[in-house]
Structure 1
Amino acid sequence: MFQLNNPDPQILVALVKMKMPFGKYKDTVLCDLPVSYLEWFGKKGFPAGKLGMLLQTLLEIKMNGLGELLVTIKKMESGK
């Protein structure tokens, strides 16, 4: 999971590049998923592995008002 005191930039890049592989929001970039969908996973259980870790991290970022961080990273990555 993303830790504010020791952030892994690759996690943030994955959040703005990786697409949801299944479900209602299939093919939606993870950072564009609505909080309600992430909260649903929080109640039902996050998927195993990297995807689950990314969704859990994304929920923490959005719930703590840090969504603009992802907007900035997404712009930087699209400019490469």
Structure 2
Amino acid sequence: MVPDKHFLITLAHTKMPFGKYKDRYLIDLPEYYVVWYHNKGFPKGKLGDMLKQVYELKLNGLEDLIRNIQRKYPK
């Protein structure tokens, strides 16, 4: 899956809506937590798609890509 520009901008500004890490940007979730979701199964829908992308970004060390988007396209 190759995300489009709008998806990445939305991802950069999306916060976790529930749980222990509520209100934390998805890209700032601890790696172990995202890996746990990868093993358990991501939620359905847009949040799940975003968490899958965060997993791939973290797996490849590309978190700064999202942080740069946060700076370039402030909410």
Compute the TM-score of the two structures, normalised by the length of structure 2. Answer: 0.89
| One-letter amino acid of the structure 2 residue matched with residue 22 of structure 1 | F
Runs of 4+ aligned structure 1 residues displaced above 2 Å come to none
The match for 1:13 is 9
Matched, 1:53 2:55: no
Is the counterpart of residue 28 in structure 1 residue 24 in structure 2? yes
Deviation at 1:29, TM superposition (A): 1.2
CA distance in 2, matches of 1:17, 1:64: 20
TM-score for the superposition, normalised by structure 1? 0.84
Q: In structure 2, list runs of 5 or more residues that go unmatched.
A: none
Aligned length: 75
Q: Report sequence identity in percent.
A: 49
What's the CA shift for 1:31?
Answer: 1.4
Q: Give 1:48's aligned amino acid.
A: K
1:67 and 2:59 are equivalent in the alignment? no
SS at match of 1:18: coil
* CA-atom RMSD in angstroms: 1.4
Shift of 1:24: 1.1
Aligned-partner Cα distance in 2 for 1:17–1:30 = 8
